[in-house]
Amino acid sequence: MRQLYVNGVWLSSTSGEGVDVVDPATEEIIDRVPAGSPADVEPAVAAARAAFPSWSRTAPAERGKLLAAAAGLLRERAEEIARTITTDMGAPYPVALQVQTLMPAGVLESYARLAEEYDFDRGRVGDSLVVKEPVGVVGAITPWNYPLHQVICKVAPALVAGCTVVLKPSEVAPLAAYALADIFHEVGLPPGVFNMVSGRGPVVGEALVTHPHVDMVSFTGSTRAGRRVAALAAETVKRVALELGGKSANLILPDADLAAAVKVGVANAFLNSGQTCSAWTRMLVHWDQYDEAVRLAVEAGRKYTVGDPFAEGTRLGPLVSAAQRDRVIRYINRGQEEGARLVLGGTDAPLERGYYVEPTIFAGVAPGMTIEQEEIFGPVLAIVPFGSEDEAVQIADGTPYGLSGAVWAGTEERALAVARRLRTGQVAVNGGRFNPLAPFGGYKQSGIGRELGEAGLEEYLETKAILL
């Protein structure tokens, strides 16, 4: 059994209980982490609180140096950590290496730079001075789908800001967070600055959220759990940042390069077996091009070979757990019951062992169908027809979510005009690439606040006015 990381040392949980970590490709237990208790949260919060006065007064550039050293070790160990992530949550190894490990290393480096560049003195308003100061002790709660990236998106800006942290990683895929804790320990982060208590959301997560000495909670996960976190945090008037679900639209206007838009759209929807909060899970296509788009999507989708995530040529690994696989299968059944047309994939198990789901595409999806409204979190793409630009915008905005999306048009100007109309936190125009410095976060029920870059740092800062 692994341990908890509190005040710079590894400790056993008082609960004595554990959570098995399962490799979703083999269904075998590969590790066991403590199922922490509320009693385990106490010393972790106390350590973070005790470390705060001195850490918050450390020069930001010093804090940045420790993060840069951590990023260096992360790059050195990238292959080993990527293998851990693959066995922990099933992403094909190349995805685990590039997207799940090296990209977060880049995010860590970006915050090391920002520690040097960001001016915590924000200038004057009339006679008054405006300064930014760390919010205090941060409780960070993260999901399993990008188990290292989601942790770094919170811990890096919090530490640069001068906050101290208690992390509760996902109990479903906790091993990348353990690798990061080892790295923070080795680079000599002072005791108490970073602490980690593994365990279940309703136990460890809620103990953090309700703790009077935790000043802020930063949560990434489902909208359902996020709602609960926000409600509980209100009791102690904590700052809350929420990164929640999505049902993003890939809006393809009639004058766009259809082949490129469909190919990139399918790739986006199926990345990480569709377990990506910002995935473009709805492809919106004009009636005139609808049949051609469906044909192109099926052709592209067939190339997503399902298999062992370590095998060469595998593009879709297993889903993270049996529960997630069953949930996705229920949605595929629901899509058929509601009259959508299955044009690729379905509910058959592609392999005898492992929590696999075929790449699945539905055509004939109408606005309002369950598979058009709800986040499925699996390799399931819904292709929805539209008749006019206004109707397309209405469909794109017609869910409770607003996290990401895309617009394709014949000119950048036209695509930009539509992108500006959408009620969503991020939009890619004509294939614009993901930018790890650009603000990331949701409108509507996709969340509150932003991660990454300067916007991500400012989430962890209070504003003080000094009146002169």
Is residue 49 a contact point for ligand NAD (CB under 6 A)?
no
Q: Which residues does residue 448 pair with via DSSP β-bridges, in sequence order?
A: 242
CB of 133 to ligand NAD, least distance (A): 26
| Residue 181 burial (CB count, 10 A) | 24
Choose, by CB under 6 A, the member of 170, 399, 424, 426 that binds ligand NAD: 170
Residue closest to ligand NAD when measured from CB atoms: 201
Nearer to ligand NAD, 228 or 282 (CB): 228
Could you tell me how many residues of this chain bind ligand NAD (CB under 6 A)?
A: 31
Q: Which is nearer to ligand NAD, 205 or 265 (CB)?
A: 205
Helix (H) or strand (E) holding 377: none
Parallel, antiparallel, or unpaired for β 405-408 and 121-125? unpaired
Residue 338, CA atoms < 13 Å, CB-side half-sphere: 20
DSSP character at residue 444: G
Angle at 238 between CA 236 and CA 243, to 5 degrees: 135
Least distance from ligand NAD to the Cβ atom of residue 464, Å? 29
Question: What's the rounded Cα separation, in Å, for the pair 297 and 291?
Answer: 10
Alpha-carbon distances, residue 73 vs 49, 78, 438 (angstroms): 27, 8, 25
Of residues 143 and 301, the one with the C-beta less far from ligand NAD: 143
Q: Which stretch binds ligand NAD (CB under 6 A): 166-174, 292-300, 339-347, 386-394?
A: 166-174
State the minimum distance, in angstroms, from the CB of residue 181 to ligand NAD: 15
Site for ligand NAD in 440-459 (CB under 6 A): 442, 447
Classify strands 9-11 and 4-6 as parallel, antiparallel or unpaired.
Answer: antiparallel
Near ligand NAD in 325-384, by CB under 6 A:
375, 377
- For residues 163 and 56, is the Cβ–Cβ distance under 8 A? yes
- Using CB under 6 A, which of the segments 176-184, 201-209, 250-258, 292-300 binds ligand NAD? 201-209
Q: What residues numbered 203-242 form the site for ligand NAD, per CB under 6 A? A: 205-206, 209, 220-222, 225, 228-229
Closest-CA residue to 339 (of 363, 357, 360): 363
Among 19, 96, 216, 244, binds ligand NAD (CB under 6 A): 244
* Residue from the set 144, 178, 304, 408 that interacts with ligand NAD by CB under 6 A: 144
Residues annotated catalytic, as ranges: 243, 277
247 belongs to the binding site for ligand NAD (CB under 6 A): no
DSSP state of 321: -
- Kindly list the distances between the CA atom of residue 397 and the CA atoms of 40, 77, 425, in Å, as whole numbers in the listed order: 43, 42, 12
Stretch (H or E) spanning 171: none
Residues of the shown chain interacting with ligand NAD in the complex, contacts defined by CB under 6 A: 141-145, 150, 168, 170-171, 200-202, 205-206, 209, 220-222, 225, 228-229, 243-246, 277, 375, 377, 403, 442, 447
